[in-house]
Amino acid sequence: MTHWLRDAAERSIRYIEGVNERPVYPAPDALAALHQFDEPLPDEPLPPESVIALLDDVGSPATVATVGGRYFGFVTGGALPATVAANWLAAAWDQNAGVNTMSPTTVYLEEIAMRWLLDALRLPAESGVGFVTGATTANFACLAAARHRLLARAGWDVEARGLFGAPEITVVVGEEVHVSVLQALMMVGFGRERLMRVPVDAQGRMIPAALPGLDERTIVCIQAGNVNTGAFDPAAEICAAAHAAGAWVHVDGAFGLWALASEQMAHLAASVPDADSWATDGHKWLNVPYDSGIAICRDAEAMRNAMTVTAPYLVQDAQRQPYHYTPEMSRRARGVEVWAAFKSLGKNGLAQLIEETSAHARRFGQELRAAGFTVHNEIVLNQVLVSFGDAETTDAVIAEIQREGVLWAGRSVWQGHTAMRISVSSWATTEEDVERSLEAILRAAEHVLHLG
């Protein structure tokens, strides 16, 4: 009866075992073959093994090999073995992790994962935590909590009355704010343009001396890990100034927050734990499958007030109900994968993951600089921004690298410079992957420069 599950497992194993042998980006014929999925909604049923066979035969070759060791695009984690396996088992359980009575196992596991997370990231143990879909949703949940607290202090019940006629809130961001924070500000009703933007330095760090006057109706959004450079906003100065004024500090730490998990690297994020709320991702540097974001708020009550609704059939007791801390009600048990990541890595394995991927990034930077190319950022974390000449040349090199398929890295523009961005975020990347990738990059650059 379950042979189709075994078949699916075997196909998944073959996929994972072969992922380093194929082009990182799918070949054009594999993409063209996707049209085989394009048919009218079938009238008749099809057995599950045939569904899976089609999915694998047509779908697998057209995937991007982000679980392999040489995908460096955007900021993309792989998926640790224990987390993929936990994901399969949790899918078999199919629990609704939002409500305690519907899933005692996963709710309990998520509570453990939450405690370990706060420990690993040196964040306040009393914080409220929500397992959400990604850092965008985590930013949203945290900013909604900030909105609740600042307006409640002003005597305004924003959840009941909305923002119409509410006291005004000022939002301060850096010039290099991530677009997902803007999206969250848009969804929370503050508007994505009604902001005060603070100038930044060459690494994208906010200049604290340029902060505007802050007060008890201000939210300052800082970042731990700029998406291009990996740089950290100066949290110590900003948190001190904000808290002296009664303002709220929110941290977008989608990947950079994980520097706190390493003794060696925690200094980069020093004072980040002084903030009031933090958004991060599990699916980036922690290397759990999509979708996995985490919203953390020192003021757990503010988070609950911002996220909760009640109905007579929902249990109201002293026990923690996960849906009180997320925009979702029903959801999958994504915290189980977070638990599995922590359990399989341990504190030391987690620190090692963060340190080794950062060391790979430094190696990319050193060798590309030594080859005469311009690396725009100080490589403090896992991000490298490199130009191979002018914009046109850099674009041509990126195109050649992507065409060859040994690795995949994307394009960015950093303060006017077109660059290739290398983000080393996967547990699966080895020294050998870095070497093969460097050879491919230098080969592509030579090819383009020779042509020019």
Ligand X SMILES: *Cc1c(COP(=O)(O)O)cnc(C)c1O
Q: Is 176 in the site for ligand X (CB under 6 A)?
A: no
d(CA 289, CA 127): 24
Q: Is 295 in the site for ligand X (CB under 6 A)?
A: no
Structural contact between residues 97 and 110, judged by C-beta atoms closer than 8 angstroms? yes
Q: Is 281 in the site for ligand X (CB under 6 A)?
A: yes
Structural contact between residues 390 and 416, judged by C-beta atoms closer than 8 angstroms? no
Instruction: Supply φ then ψ for residue 386, to 5 degrees.
Output: -125, 135
d(CA 12, CA 88): 11
d(CA 31, CA 29): 5
For ligand X, the closer of residues 134 and 389 by Cβ is 134
What minimum distance in Å lies between the beta carbon of 275 and ligand X? Answer: 15
For ligand X, the closer of residues 285 and 427 by Cβ is 285
Binding positions for ligand X, 399-428, rule CB under 6 A = none
Considering only residues 227, 259, 306, 333, which one is a binding residue for ligand X as defined by CB under 6 A? 227
Q: Is 178 in the site for ligand X (CB under 6 A)?
A: yes
What minimum distance in Å lies between the beta carbon of 75 and ligand X? Answer: 5
Total binding residues for ligand X by CB under 6 A?
14
For ligand X, the closer of residues 174 and 389 by Cβ is 174
- Determine the residue with CB nearest ligand X: 134
Binding positions for ligand X, 116-135, rule CB under 6 A = 134-135
- Give Cα separations from 261 to 267, 306, 347 (angstroms): 11, 29, 8
For ligand X, the closer of residues 173 and 406 by Cβ is 173
Binding positions for ligand X, 235-254, rule CB under 6 A = 252, 254
Q: What separation, in Å, do the N-terminal and C-terminal C-alpha atoms of the chain show?
A: 61
- What are residue 375's DSSP bridge partners? 386
What SS3 state is found at 387?
Answer: strand
Considering only residues 72, 255, 285, 364, which one is a binding residue for ligand X as defined by CB under 6 A? 255
What minimum distance in Å lies between the beta carbon of 95 and ligand X? Answer: 23
What SS3 state is found at 89?
Answer: helix
Q: Would you list the DSSP string of 238-294? A: HHHHHHHHT-EEEEE-TTGGGGGG-TTTGGGGTTGGGSSEEEEESSSTT--PSS-EE
For ligand X, the closer of residues 396 and 422 by Cβ is 422
Provide the greatest CA pair distance for the chain.
72
For ligand X, the closer of residues 254 and 338 by Cβ is 254
What minimum distance in Å lies between the beta carbon of 93 and ligand X? Answer: 24
Q: Is 180 in the site for ligand X (CB under 6 A)?
A: yes
Give the neighbor-by-neighbor strand order of the sheet with 277-281.
128-132, 293-297, 277-281, 248-252, 218-223, 170-174, 196-198
For ligand X, the closer of residues 205 and 217 by Cβ is 205
Q: Is 230 in the site for ligand X (CB under 6 A)?
A: no
Binding positions for ligand X, rule: CB under 6 A: 75, 134-136, 178, 180, 223, 225, 227, 252, 254-255, 281, 293
